[in-house]
Amino acid sequence: MEIILDKQQLHLTILRLAHQLVENQTDLKEVVFIGLQPRGLPVSKLIVETIQTLFPDEAVNYGVLDITFYRDDVRNELHKATRTDIPFSIEGKKVMLIDDVLYTGRTIRAALDALQDFGRPQKVELCVLVNRRFNRELPIQPDYCGKAIDTLTSQKVKVEWDKEQVILY
């Protein structure tokens, strides 16, 4: 087992991602942040909370998206569906998708599909805490990335929120 990000690094990374996500935005009202259920929920929440402290007077648009019903492997493996809560229109908005680990890219593919059902965004960007650069199965790359790592297929990456660290095993 190898620690990729320890507690302090994890906090600093989230702080950096939060700043990167907003540094080029002219109007926060035109941006929506969407965390992907279930594993992207904690990281997206922390990032959005950080952004909120940076802009205490602005309402930050934050929603969560469950992509279970959009997966392309329904007939091989069932996943438990969780809550989707996007209480605003994403029509014409800049959507920031937030997830914990980017690996095969299939979850993001499903998320892009799912987003279409909520309107036509002006732009979609992807922010991930960990980017596993090898073994991508689709042409999908992150726009914002906490840490990029090179791993083998046999290895696994896990974000342990209770211990506040990211491990490779």
Which residues contribute to the site for other proteins (CB under 8 A)?
Answer: 66, 68-71, 74-85, 113-114, 116-119
Q: What is the DSSP string of 41-67?
A: HHHHHHHHHHHHHHSTTSPPEEEEE--
Closer residue to other proteins, CB minimum distance, 6 or 117: 117
Contact call for residues 90 and 118 (beta carbons, < 8 A): yes
Residue with smaller CB distance to other proteins, 62 or 70? 70
- Position 148, amino acid: A
Indicate the residue among 79 and 156 with the shorter CB distance to other proteins: 79
What count of other Cβ atoms lies within 10 Å of the Cβ of residue 78?
Answer: 10
Residue 113 vs 164, nearer CB to other proteins = 113
SS3 138: coil
| Nearest-approach distance from CB 19 to other proteins, in angstroms | 32
Distance of CA 121 to the CA centre of its chain: 17
- φ/ψ of 113, rounded to 5, equals -60, -50
Shortest separation between residue 138's beta carbon and other proteins, angstroms: 16
Closest approach of other proteins to the CB of residue 78, in Å: 4
- Please report how close the Cβ of residue 146 comes to other proteins at its closest, in angstroms: 29
